Amino acid sequence: SWHFLVVQQVKDLVLSLHQALQNMPKVLRDVEALKQEASFLKEQMILVKEDIKKFEQDTSQSMQVLVEIDQVKSRMQLAAESLQEADKWSTLSADIEETFKTQDVTVISAKLTGMQNSLTMLVDTPDYSEKCVHLEALKNRLEALASPQIVAAFTSQSIDQSKVFVKVFTEIDRMPQLLAYYYKCHKVQLLAAWQELCQTDLPLERQLTGLYDALLGAWHTQIQWASQVFRNPHEVVTVLLIQTLGALVPSLPICLSSGVERAGPELELVKLLEFYGATAHFAKGLEMALLPHPQEHNLVKVTELVDAVYGPYKPYQLKYGDMEEKNLLIQISAVPLEHGEVIDCVQELSHSVNKLFGLASAAVDRCIKFTNGLGTCGLLAALKSLFAKYVSDFTSTLHSIRKKCKLDDIPTNSLFQEDWTAFQNSIRIIATCGELLRQCGDFEQQLANRILSTAGKYLSDSYSPRSLTGFQDSILTDKKSSAKNPWQEYNYLQKDSPAEYGSLMEILYTLKEKGSSNHNLLSASRAALTRLNQQAHQLAFDSVFLRIKQQLLLISKMDSWNTAGIGETLTDDLPTFSLTPLEYINYLINVMDALGLQPSRNLQGIVMLLKTKPEDYRQVSKSLPRRLAATVAAMRGVDY
């Protein structure tokens, strides 16, 4: 059976090969046909591609033709509209004279608006400029015709009538001219109120208060009214105040100048601060009035208003340092330090400490109030002059005390008089100097803190010390960041005195980076007070040791050296009323003990040798220098 299966498989294989050979021509024919169809399809695709390319070219040309046709159509429409507008212009222009005869502002403005709209279509006409001039002349006629009614409407605060004029002048592009009428009407009333105040006998600060009350009242009244008439009421009323402040007669700078001049040198700064107080109060009132509606304000106009309010004080703020220095020197000159008696001088020196730092603290208050910390450089210069003047007067007083106590010219032959008053007074002066140094340290700390807390807001985060580039970058950064509150960011110094402003930035940077406790604001003044303290100690030293020197000088002139033998004067039989060298030495030792001073070892040895009995002298002197023992033995006449 296995053989049978093999034979059968071979037969099947032969049969399959035979069938394959029979089908081969058909397959070849099918392949050839497929090749022909592929070639035909390729040719068709090439033809289609050419057709598409041709279609695209034809379409592009067609689109270009359509665009050109559309442009021609647009020009034709524009020409037609221009012809219509020209015809309309001619019609309106011909009728305008009749319209003006009606005296109806609304009707006339409607005609002018139509002419204005027509004119926008006639830009390319040859007589366009002539038409513009003609239209402006017609607008001027309308404005002149309406001006009495405008003034009446604004003066009477007629809301309905004012709205009509706002609509009319908006349509004819004459809104600035209408606002000029509004400003003029209300400015006249405010200027008249100011002139009336100036004619009174009230002091200038009261006159300023009256003016500012009128302006603040006008602000609230006009904001309420303008909100119903104008689209931007806050900007309109802001400009009204700016123009009013700039048109005052007499002007505020002239009034301030005459007021300061009348006050005199001693009170000019005080009087100026009184004026400034009224202005600052008004500015705060305006700031509070503007605060509820920050988004409705034009910050540029608000900044102009801030400049108009504070501007009259700018010349004085820029020279604040000189004014403060003059003021402080006048006040410190009125503080007496020297009197007839020494005790009075010492008492005045003690009392002057609080007076000095009272003046200095008041100067800091004035600087912050008047310059908002921007006058710090001038303040520091003024304080330096104040302390220099005080130290000079204090030094002169010390010299006077030395003369009155006769510490510099004690005669060598005068009798010794025990008087420790000078030393006691010196101790009090030393205490005063200590209080000066203590209060100076406290004041310098407070000064640094107040400067940083007040003027620190002007220091930009990008500021770099002693770098012009950093300084300019900080200015640019500040300009880029829009001012949120111009009232708080008013800065008169940066533009008008950039050098001083740069110095202020360096001071603020140092205080911020190193801390307000690590400062050097009053280093020169502290050094001067330290030298003053040294002079006080020298005075105390001289008041003690010059007395001791006088006592020692008198020893060589004692009568006891000449009246008897030296040895005899040191015996126990000496009368109680006699004066011996030993008693002088004991007296000096007692004085030194009272002063907390210790005698030298040599002096102690001399005392011991003077007290030793002659028979014990040799034994006691063994522990002392031989030369000293021999000298004392010769003086006493002891056999040594």
Does 331 have pLDDT greater than 80? yes
Tens-digit pLDDT profile for residues 449-461: 999 999 988 887 7
Nearest of 351, 338, 355, 350 to residue 431 by alpha carbon: 350
Tens-digit pLDDT profile for residues 155-165: 998 999 999 88
Mean pLDDT confidence for 375-400? 94
What is the rounded CA–CA span in Å between residue 61 and residue 53? Answer: 12
Higher pLDDT, 598 or 213: 213
Q: What's the Cα-to-Cα distance from 449 to each of 320, 364, 454, 519, rounded to whole Å?
A: 21, 11, 9, 10
What is the rounded CA–CA span in Å between residue 518 and residue 555? Answer: 55
Residue 372's SS3 state is: coil
CB neighbourhood size of 472 (10 A): 10
The pair of structure tokens assigned to 58 is: 């034809």
Within 8 A by CB and 6+ apart from 376, the residues are: 367, 451, 455, 504, 507
Q: Which of 101-115, 365-379, 471-485 ranks highest by mean pLDDT?
A: 365-379
Nearest of 325, 530, 332, 344 to residue 436 by alpha carbon: 530
Within 8 A by CB and 6+ apart from 555, the residues are: 581, 584
- pLDDT of 142: 76
Least confident interval from 170-179, 321-330, 602-611: 602-611
Q: How many residues does the chain have?
A: 640
**Boundaries of every domain in the chain:** 2-145, 175-318, 332-484+492-531, 558-636
C-alpha neighbours within 13 Å on the C-beta side of residue 6:
3
pTM above 0.85, yes or no: no
CB neighbourhood size of 228 (10 A): 12
In degrees and rounded to multiples of 5, residue 378 shows phi and psi of: -65, -35
What is the rounded CA–CA span in Å between residue 390 and residue 396? Answer: 10
Higher pLDDT, 109 or 351: 351
Tens-digit pLDDT profile for residues 208-251: 999 999 999 999 999 999 999 999 999 999 999 999 999 999 99
Least confident interval from 438-447, 525-534, 593-602: 593-602
- Are 516 and 448 in contact by the 8 Å Cβ rule? The answer is yes
What is the rounded CA–CA span in Å between residue 251 and residue 83? Answer: 57
- pLDDT of 312: 96
- pLDDT of 584: 64
